[in-house]
Amino acid sequence: MDNSLSNRDQLVNWHPYTQMQTAPPPIGIARGQGAVLYAEDGKEYIDAVSSWWVNIHGHAHPHIAARVSEQLSTLEHVIFAGFTHAPAVELSERLLRLLPQNQSRVFYSDNGSTAVEVALKMALQYWFNQGKDKTKIIALEGSYHGDTFGAMSVSERSVFTRPFQQYLFDVEFLPVPVPGNEEASYEHLETLLTRQDIAAFVFEPLVLGTAGMVMYSPAVLDKLMELCRKNGVLIIADEVMTGFGRTGKRFACDYLTQQPDLMCFSKGLTGGTMALGVTTCSQEIFASFLSEDKTRAFFHGHSYTANPVACAASLASLDLVENDLFLENLDRISGSHAVFAQSLSGKPGIKACRQTGTILAIEFEVGQTTYFHSLRDQLYTLALENGVLLRPLGNIVYVLPPYCITQTQLEKVYQVMEQMRQLVAGSF
C-alpha cells in the first residue's frame, strides 16, 4: 500500500488554483531549510518563488522559530476586542516607524485579501461617516488584489472571477502606466476624477504580480497619486506582494514622494511562517471613525485578529528585515537579476525581460500571452525535474527567491530558465 503523503493527500485534499481531475499528484515535502525544500522521496527543490512569495528569509529560520516557540508558551491567543497584548503593540510600533510618516494606525486581519478588503471598507466608510456620496473605486487593469468579493471586485475581470461576475461591484479600471502608456493612463485618470463619486484609487505599487509581473515607474505612480490627492480621492497601496524587500527597498512606496492614505500587507509580514494581514491608515482616516455615535465605528474583525503567535513571528521577521545583511542580500539578488536579464535580451524565444529589485520575470515569445498557455505545464515540469520550483504564469516565468538564496543556488535557477528559453526557441 502506498502510504506516501502524495497518495494520502489525493484522497482528502482540494488544492488552490488546481484542476484536480488533471493535475499531477502533489509533491510531498518533508521539511525545508533556507532556500531548499526537501521532499519525502529525498529530492531537493530550490524554492525560487518563496512558496507563493511569502518566505522571504528562508524556511525554518531559527530566529523566527525560537520567537514563535517562546510565544506559544506565554500566550497563544486572546480576543482583540477590549484586550491587547505585547506582541501586537510592539509590532504596530515597529511597523509604523518603517512606513511613510503619515501612517498612524494598524488594523490586523488574517491574509492579503482581507487586508485589502479592510482598506476598501475603511475608505468607503470614511466618506459615509462624513455624509458624502463617494462610492466608486478606481483600480488598474490587470490588477489582482485577492479572492474575497471586495478584493475580486477591484481586480481584473477574468476567468477567475467569471462565475461571480453578477456579485461584484462596479469599478473604474485605469490603463496600467507601463512605458509608452503613461500619458494615456494619466489622461484617463484626469477624466475619471471630474466625477464627484470617486472614493479611492487602489493599486499594486510598481509591480502587478499575477498580471505577469507587469512593471511601471515610481515617477508615473507619483503623478497619479498627486492627481488623486488634489482631487480629494483616497489612495490605497496594496503592498501584500511588494512589501518587505521585493522591489529592492523595504517597501515599494519607499521609491515614492507621495504617500498613500492606506496600505495593505501580508505574505512576507511573518517571514512566511503563518497567516497574518495588516492594514495601516493615516490619522485622518482613523479620526473619521471617532464619535459618540457607536454606529460610526468600524465593524470588521476576525476571530484571530492580532494573533500573538503570528505577531511574534512578524517581530522576529522584522529583526531580520532591519539587519544590514537584509539590504545587502536585496542588492546582491537585484544585481544578479539585472545581469542575467541583460544576458537574455535579444535571444531567440525571449519576448521581454522585466526586473524590479528581487523580482525578475521572463516573458517567452509564443504568440498570445495567457495564463492558460499550454507551455506553462512544460516549463513547470522542466524546472521540477531540475530541482527548482518555478511556477509560471502561462508563458511568463518569474523569480522571487528567499533573500537567503546563495549565489550558487541562484545560478542554478538561471540555468534552468536558460533551458526553458532553449525549449521555447526550439519549439515555436
Residues 158 and 278 reside in one and the same domain? yes
Residues 107 and 56 reside in one and the same domain? no
Decide if pLDDT at 154 tops 90.
yes
**Torsions phi, psi of 41, nearest 5?**
-90, 5
Residues 34 and 155 reside in one and the same domain? no
Output the domain CATH number for residue 231. Answer: 3.40.640.10
Task: Output Rg (C-alpha) for the chain, integer angstroms.
Answer: 22
Q: What would the grid cell of residue 344 be? A: 537574455
d(CA 324, CA 367): 44
pLDDT digits (tens, 9 = 90+) for 267-285: 999 999 999 999 999 999 9
Given a contact cutoff of 8 angstroms between Cβ atoms, the answer to whether 418 and 426 are in contact is no
Sign of the alpha-carbon dihedral angle for 182, 185, 188, 190: negative
Residues 183 and 230 reside in one and the same domain? yes
Residues 163 and 259 reside in one and the same domain? yes
d(CA 396, CA 233): 34
What SS3 class is residue 323?
Answer: coil
pLDDT digits (tens, 9 = 90+) for 156-175: 999 899 999 999 999 999 99
Domain count across the chain: 2
What SS3 class is residue 428?
Answer: coil
pLDDT of residue 325: 96
Residues 376 and 293 reside in one and the same domain? no
pLDDT of residue 374: 81
pLDDT digits (tens, 9 = 90+) for 100-147: 999 999 999 999 999 999 999 999 999 999 999 999 999 999 999 999
Out of 321, 353, 388, a domain closes at 321
Output the domain CATH number for residue 26. Answer: 3.90.1150.10
Residues 54 and 101 reside in one and the same domain? no
Whether pTM > 0.95 for this model: the answer is yes
d(CA 276, CA 262): 17
pLDDT of residue 428: 65
pLDDT of residue 372: 78
Residues 295 and 376 reside in one and the same domain? no
- In Å, the largest CA–CA distance within the chain is 70
Range of the domain at 418: 5-60+324-427
pLDDT digits (tens, 9 = 90+) for 212-246: 999 999 999 999 999 999 999 999 999 999 999 99
Percent of the chain with pLDDT over 90: 96
Residues 236 and 376 reside in one and the same domain? no
Residues 71 and 213 reside in one and the same domain? yes
d(CA 74, CA 391): 38
Q: Crossing angle for the helix pair 407-427 and 324-344, nearest 10 degrees?
A: 20
Out of 303, 321, 339, a domain closes at 321
Out of 291, 321, 351, a domain closes at 321
Residues 373 and 393 reside in one and the same domain? yes
Q: ∠ CA 183-358-45 to the nearest 5 degrees?
A: 135
Nearest to 157 by CA among 139, 134, 178: 139
How far is Cα of residue 160 from the mean position of the Cα atoms in its chain? 17
Residues 291 and 172 reside in one and the same domain? yes
pLDDT of residue 58: 98
Q: What would the grid cell of residue 62 be? A: 531559527
Q: Which residues belong to the active site? A: 17, 144, 238, 267
d(CA 243, CA 56): 10
pLDDT of residue 169: 97
